[in-house]
Amino acid sequence: MAKLTAKKVVATKSAKPSIGEIACKAIKAGKTNQQALKEVKKAHPQAKTQLNSIAVYRSWARATNSRTPTNRQAAIKQGLVLDTPKRKLAKRTKKAAPKRTKKVTTGGQNIKELAAKRRANRAAKKTAHKGKAKKATKKTTPKRSPKKLIKKS
């Protein structure tokens, strides 16, 4: 803001901190991007700041200070997001994911048995291949030598 006096215009600092300062303070305080955006909107109601801008401020803060939490880490700290793998989340819901056991069968056979059979088949193929005699192949030479293929300009 500037004060208008008789002699000259004197620039004074505004009482409000800038949008970037508010966002950075909120991010360093461990707030999520949405919460930081709400704080910015409270201080500057006419601001056109969006979540993308807050994410940029977070990336800048993380570049200078590695201890700055990510948006997900901030949400986990506040209990807004569960820090569990998808499988555990599926167990908690009504439609639980089927738990795989060691004795899952395919066509009446155990998976370990199938894997053992495949290994045995591969080993048998390798030994059979080694026993075969290699066919004698005659090397063919090109009709023209590489020097004749190069065109002279």
Of the candidates 73, 87, 91, 85, the residue with the CA atom closest to the CA atom of residue 27: 73
User: What pLDDT digit, counting tens, does each position of 87-107 carry?
Assistant: 555 555 555 555 555 555 556
- What's residue 9's pLDDT? 46
Which residues, other chains included, contact 102 with Cβ-Cβ below 8 Å and sequence gap of 6+?
Answer: 111, 112
**How many domains are contained in the chain?**
1
Q: How many other C-beta atoms lie within 10 A of the C-beta of residue 34?
A: 13
Structure tokens at 73: 């880490």
Q: Residue 93 falls within a domain, yes or no? A: no
- What's residue 14's pLDDT? 64
Of the candidates 75, 34, 38, the residue with the CA atom closest to the CA atom of residue 55: 34
Q: Residue 100 falls within a domain, yes or no? A: no
- What's residue 116's pLDDT? 86
- What's residue 1's pLDDT? 47
Q: Residue 148 falls within a domain, yes or no? A: no
- What's residue 108's pLDDT? 59
- Identify the domain containing residue 21 by its residue range: 15-77
The low-confidence residues of the chain, meaning pLDDT below 50, are 1, 4-6, 9
- What's residue 18's pLDDT? 94
Provide the CB-side half-sphere exposure for 37 (13 A, CA). 13
Q: Residue 101 falls within a domain, yes or no? A: no
Q: Is the dihedral of CA 87, 88, 91, 92 positive or negative?
A: negative
**If DSSP codes are grouped into helix, strand and coil, which group holds residue 72?**
helix
Q: Residue 96 falls within a domain, yes or no? A: no
- What's residue 123's pLDDT? 86
- What's residue 5's pLDDT? 47
Q: Residue 3 falls within a domain, yes or no? A: no
- What's residue 124's pLDDT? 86
Q: Residue 20 falls within a domain, yes or no? A: yes
Burial of 125 (C-beta count, 10 Å sphere; 0-12/13-18/19+): exposed
Q: Residue 43 falls within a domain, yes or no? A: yes
Task: State the pTM of this model.
Answer: 0.47
